Amino acid sequence: MNDTTHNLLVDEIPIMESFYTIQGEGCHVGKAAYFIRTGGCDVGCHWCDVKNSWKASDHPNFSVTRLVKMANDHPAQIVVITGGEPLMYDLSQLTQQLKAADKNTHIETSGVYPLTGEWDWICFSPKKFKKPKEVFYEQSDELKLVIYHKSDFKWAIEQGKKMNPKAKWLLQPEWSRQEEILPLIIAFVKEHPRWSISLQTHKFMDIP
C-alpha cells in the first residue's frame, strides 16, 4: 500500500504501533483501552507528536484478522483506532470484526476523509490545516480541539457552532505549550461552560 492510497476497502492496514494502555485524554479518559495506530497522514500539524506516523510506507501492513486477535489478547472492551489519520483507509472490515468480538470501537480522526466503519464513539479533532468533511459535525460524539495559539479560541467557537447538539466539546492544550495555554483555556471554559477541558493525562502518568 502506498502513501497515495486513500479510503480504499482493505483487509491489510499499515500500522505504526499497537498497545494496551489507559485512555489518556478526551471523554473516556482513565479507561483501559487497546490502541491501534495506523500509519499515514497528510494533514500536516506542525506540532504533531507522532510525525513518524505520517509516511505509510514506513510501517508494516497488518491483516484485519491479526489486529482483531491482538485486541482480543487484552481484556478491555474499548479499542481505539487512531493515527496518523486512520480514515485514509476503509475501516469497515476492521470494525465489523471488532464488534463481532464484542469490542467497543472508538476512532480519533481529523475528519478529512470519508467516514467508514461502525463506531461506538467518534472523537472528531479537526485541524486548521485541512478542511474536514461535513458529516463529522453531524455524527461525531466528541469534538476535541487542540489549542496552540490564542487565535485558536475563535476557531473553536466556529467549530462548535457546526456541531450536533449531543456532542461533547473539549479543548486541549498543545503539550509543548501547556504552561502558557492551559490558564487561557481555564479562563475560556469559565466564560463558555459548554466546553470542557481535556488534558493528556497519559503523559503525566508516563504511559503510552
CA distance linking residue 17 with residue 60, whole number of Å? 9
Cell of 70: 491482538
Kindly list the structural domains of the chain, giving each domain's residue range(s) and its CATH number in brackets, ordered by start. 8-205 (3.20.20.70)
Nearest by Cα to 83 from 118, 120, 128, 113: 113
pLDDT of 37 over the 70 cut? yes
Residue 204's contacts (CB-CB under 8 Å, 6 or more residues apart) are none
Structure confidence at residue 3 (pLDDT)? 42
The amino acid at residue 72 is N
Cell of 141: 460524539
DSSP for residue 108: E
Q: Encode pLDDT of 74-117 as tens digits.
A: 999 999 999 999 999 999 999 999 999 999 999 999 999 999 99
Residue 24's contacts (CB-CB under 8 Å, 6 or more residues apart) are 200, 201, 202, 203, 205, 207
Beta-carbon neighbour count of residue 190 at 10 Å?
9
Q: What is the reported pTM?
A: 0.94
Average pLDDT of the segment spanning 161-185: 97
